Structure 1
Amino acid sequence: MIRILVFALFVLALAGGFAWLADRPGELSIIWQGQRADMSLMVAATLIVSLIVAIMLCWWLVRVIWTSPHSIQRYFRARKRDRGYQALSTGLIAAGAGDAAGARKMLGRTRGLLSADQEPLIHLLEAQAAMIEGRYDDARKKFELMADDPETRELGLRGLYLEARRLGANEAARQYAERAAEKAPQLPWATEAALEYRSEAGDWDEALKLLGDGRSGSTEEKKAYARRKAVLLTARAAEKLDADPKGAREDAHQALKLDENFVPAGLIEAKAYLREDNLRKAASILERLWKATAHGDVARLYVRARSGDSAADRLKRAEKLEAMRPNNAEALYAVAEAALETRDFTLARAKAEAAARLAPRESAFLLLADIEDAETGDQGRIRHWMNQALKAPRDPAWTADGITSPEWRAVSPVTGRLDAFEWKTPVSELQGPIEEGSANTVDEAIRTLPPIVIETRPAVKAEKVETVKAEPPVVVTAAAEPVPAKAETPQKADAVPAGSEEEERPFYGLPDDPGVKAGAVRRDDTSSFKLF
């Protein structure tokens, strides 16, 4: 565009000059070697311009003829280079697609058209072809050559890192990742790998140094940086909690500034305050976390913040949590657990059943079994709730890569991934009918509770088949009408006649219990009794 503009300006200037001469006519006389030439000024100017153009044309022609061999050579070299790059591109595509034969063919063609010094990507194509063909030693040698070349250092280090990970050489992989992170901190894979290795080793200070300040980047990158830094600070705080509660509290506080709803950081800061006997600040942190997350660990720590509290005090704290988050399964469970400790079975049962309706899970049914054991001791009802607990989903836990942990960890012990643990129900345990049901399923479980049976043992009568006479069952909750087991009268002279006071009462078994078979009454010379 600039050249066109310069040419147009030159033409306009030349035309303007001729117009100026045309407006100012004149005569020009030249005497040279006795010859005189007379001409107008316009003709003289035209001859001068034509002479200049002819000289320039002759010079261009001579220069083209003089440089034509080099131009021809350069043309063929450029054509060869283009063919080489085309073969290299095709070979890399074939290697990426897993076509070993095509990659090897294009590699041979590329070598004939290009030199490795001219194009380092030939080493990459050769390494990729070797990996596809299973020649990993040759591929590793090529990656080492690339790592020594400043142009391909990062590419070679990444190839060596991936190869070391494939072989399980974690120490070598760590060294390659840290070398790449040192030479090129902008590489995400190198920084991520080095960060995970340092975190897995528990070197939190070095991990924080490697993480940097995170000032640059997009909004999403800044959020990811804040989350990682909060995780690393929380991990360091957890390590300091026993020996240095103040330092742990400061690290956890910094983590909460980056992520205000990060439960592990809040728990560590609250524990640090409790170790400093500052219950007010610990409770303030836990209450704020509870309002935001309603986390089970927060509820447990809040209810049992002081070891010297009585059961009634713990119940009051649990009820305070329920007031903050009404109709919450975790709050209801905390109140039910605290009520059981105070022997308030009515409140404990009501809250536990409500928690089971909102979130059917193992701990809720186990708590109902504990309530039943403490209040009535009825083994049938206890086993009923235990059976429901076996079929219920497990409680939420810190889960990462298919494993669960009782406490939060910064790094997964399986893959070494940072910030892998999440608070959720283990997916592998989501089986059973209660998983798909809601309150209706829990209501059905409550309705199918066996009634409470109070058994008494009569006196022993000689030479007669005795059975235990039971009082009428006392039904506590709505229960389905049980089907009595029909007991056959033994065909003996001393058998108990039907309708007498010694007539056998029906056996109220569990929902999953087959019951007592007809006539299966244990006989003894001195006494007889039911199995349950």
Structure 2
Amino acid sequence: MIGLLWRFLLLALVAAGIAWLADRPGTLTIRWLGHEIEMSAIAGITVVAVAVIFIWFLWSLFRRLWRSPQAVQRYLYGRKTNKGRDSLSRGIIAAGAGDAAAAARYAALAGNALPDEPLVNVLAAQAAQLKGDRAAVKRIFEAMTKSPETEALGLRGLFAEARQSGDVAAARRHAERALSLNPRLAWAAAAVLQLQAAARDWQAASATLARQIKSGAVPQADANRKLAALTAAEALALEDDDRASALELALKAHKLDPALVPAAALAARLLSAQASGRKAARIIKESWRLSPHPDLAEAQAYLFPGDGPEVRYERVQDLLKDEAGGVEGAVALARAAVKAKRWPAARTALAPYIEARPQARICALMAQIEDAEGDKGRAREWLARAINAPRDPIWVSDGVASPRWTPVSPVSGEIVPCEWKAPFEMPDIPDMQDPELSPPAAEAPAPELPPPAPAKPDAPELVSPQRPPDDPGLPEDFDQPPRGSTPR
């Protein structure tokens, strides 16, 4: 609309100028080389205007002829560029479809037409990967690392090739170089962190994770949990060699994630060794409320080395005053009572968990209680039930059970701390040892059990039933003295 108004205004000005000249007639005389030419003012102005237009036309024609070689060159270059881009597009489509021959052909055409185009190298690398030419793939990615524009892309390709070929050192080197170029590269940060954790370089992994947290690459919800796991792993690695640093790291991990059992248990053990039992007890109770675990109960029992079973039993009772801890609390209290030879107290602690299908550790404790009270038959029954009982909880990460806690998944290598749970979910199979579910005696009379064989003087009376090959077995003896001066 504004352009139309400007055109209308210009036309009005021209018309006004012509009208002004028409109202003022005059004669224009030109004398040149003995000749004299007379004409009206309007005719003179018209001749001047036509001459200007003619001169402009001649200049434009000359300029076009002068620039024609460059124009032809630009035309040919544009045609070649369009052909190269078309080949590049077709090659990317062919590579995505898995057509190695077509991708290689289009990559060659695009390379001839677009020698400086970075995507040509990407297409050539994809074509070489489809053909299985790993040497060519590596050569292309190495060439890409020499250009600042494609260095990060080349490093990622070299990292993928090194990881696929099993060269962990080269993969880590490429990922660290890419991360130094751009700290916000998510793949580089994740790869470096994963490789450092797999190598158990906990200090370097913690530093890498801290940089990721600072750059915002890791969600804040997971940041503290992952950093606490790495810090706890570093503390556990230093427990034997540098207890002061181990304690500092354990307290830091506990502050980041109070529910992390290994950090709390380690801090409690080290504080107990320094005669700081009260501080250790506060840490144990804080973690017990969030994550009841046998290691915490054991650390509570051995807060002060040298105490007898009775004192350890009372100390475990004190831990369960504010938070019972469910089945973990019952098992911990029963173990302490068994060691203190308080058989009724141990039976009372386990009573809520023996009705349905108790875990194997509960069956073993009940067998020990029955045997101590003189009922050998019931003890054997409990040991028999332990064979088919639900699995005891153990440290599990990504479905893989481990006797020790680890911050790294054995499947993916990611920072996925172990969880304390059963190795797998078992179907709810009725327990035929339960009297209420057993068949009537008239239909299936129970066979007479042979009398128990006398125990050898040097052998224990009870023998734990053999577990399946993949079963972690029953827990270690609760009263086993800890390594050094404090329990593990």
TM-score interval (norm. to shorter): 0.7 to 0.9
Q: Partner residue of 1:395?
A: 392
Supply the distance in 1 between the matched residues of 2:444 and 2:19 (Cα, whole angstroms). Answer: 136
How far 1:374 sits from its partner (Å)?
1.9
Q: Number of matched residues?
A: 445
What's the TM-score once normalised by structure 1's chain length? 0.70
Supply the distance in 2 between the matched residues of 1:119 and 1:252 (Cα, whole angstroms). Answer: 53
Supply the distance in 1 between the matched residues of 2:118 and 2:417 (Cα, whole angstroms). Answer: 38
- The structure whose RCO (Cα within 8 Å, separation 6+) is larger is 2
Supply the distance in 2 between the matched residues of 1:394 and 1:234 (Cα, whole angstroms). Answer: 27
How far 1:172 sits from its partner (Å)?
2.5
Q: Partner residue of 2:455?
A: none
What amino acid is aligned across from residue 178 of structure 1 in structure 2?
E
Are residue 188 (structure 1) and residue 172 (structure 2) matched?
no
Q: Partner residue of 1:422?
A: 419
Unaligned regions of 5+ residues in structure 2, if any?
452-488
Supply the distance in 2 between the matched residues of 1:255 and 1:318 (Cα, whole angstroms). Answer: 24
Structure number with larger C-alpha Rg = 1
- Secondary structure of the residue aligned to 2:219 is helix
Seq. identity, %: 33
Are residue 102 (structure 1) and residue 90 (structure 2) matched?
no
* Correspondence for 2:435 among 447, 450, 453: 447
Specify whether residues 327 and 203 from structure 1 end up closer, same or farther in structure 2 by C-alpha distance, changes over 3 A only: closer
How far 1:368 sits from its partner (Å)?
1.9
- Secondary structure of the residue aligned to 2:81 is helix
Q: Partner residue of 2:349?
A: 351
What's the TM-score once normalised by structure 2's chain length? 0.76
* Correspondence for 1:266 among 243, 264, 269: 264
Contact 1:216/1:222 (<8 A) preserved: no
Matches within 5 A, 1:309-320: 309-320=307-318
Q: Partner residue of 2:225?
A: 227
Supply the distance in 1 between the matched residues of 2:434 and 2:215 (Cα, whole angstroms). Answer: 56
Q: Partner residue of 2:144?
A: 146
How far 1:189 sits from its partner (Å)?
2.4
Contact 1:329/1:356 (<8 A) preserved: no
Are residue 14 (structure 1) and residue 6 (structure 2) matched?
no
Q: Partner residue of 1:286?
A: 284
How far 1:22 sits from its partner (Å)?
8.9
Specify whether residues 179 and 215 from structure 1 end up closer, same or farther in structure 2 by C-alpha distance, changes over 3 A only: closer
- Secondary structure of the residue aligned to 1:408 is coil
Matches within 5 A, 1:117-156: 118-156=116-154
Contact 2:175/2:189 (<8 A) preserved: yes
Q: Partner residue of 1:306?
A: 304
Specify whether residues 395 and 305 from structure 1 end up closer, same or farther in structure 2 by C-alpha distance, changes over 3 A only: farther
Give deviations 1:105-155, integer Å, cap 9, x for gaps: 33343345333xx22333333332223222222322222222333332222
Specify whether residues 84 and 322 from structure 1 end up closer, same or farther in structure 2 by C-alpha distance, changes over 3 A only: same
What amino acid is aligned across from residue 119 of structure 2 in structure 1?
L
How far 1:69 sits from its partner (Å)?
4.7
Supply the distance in 2 between the matched residues of 1:193 and 1:331 (Cα, whole angstroms). Answer: 40
Supply the distance in 2 between the matched residues of 1:224 and 1:58 (Cα, whole angstroms). Answer: 75
What amino acid is aligned across from residue 397 of structure 1 in structure 2?
I
* Correspondence for 1:328 among 326, 329, 353: 326
Contact 1:231/1:410 (<8 A) preserved: yes
Specify whether residues 217 and 58 from structure 1 end up closer, same or farther in structure 2 by C-alpha distance, changes over 3 A only: farther
How far 1:367 sits from its partner (Å)?
1.8
Specify whether residues 204 and 216 from structure 1 end up closer, same or farther in structure 2 by C-alpha distance, changes over 3 A only: closer
Unaligned regions of 5+ residues in structure 1, if any?
450-478, 487-505, 510-514, 517-532
What amino acid is aligned across from residue 74 of structure 2 in structure 1?
R
Supply the distance in 1 between the matched residues of 2:305 and 2:221 (Cα, whole angstroms). Answer: 38
Give deviations 1:348-397, integer Å, cap 9, x for gaps: 2243242355884322222222222222341x433332232222332222
Q: Partner residue of 1:383?
A: 380
Matches within 5 A, 1:407-418: 407-412=404-409, 416-418=413-415
How far 1:275 sits from its partner (Å)?
2.0
What amino acid is aligned across from residue 171 of structure 1 in structure 2?
A
How far 1:54 sits from its partner (Å)?
7.1
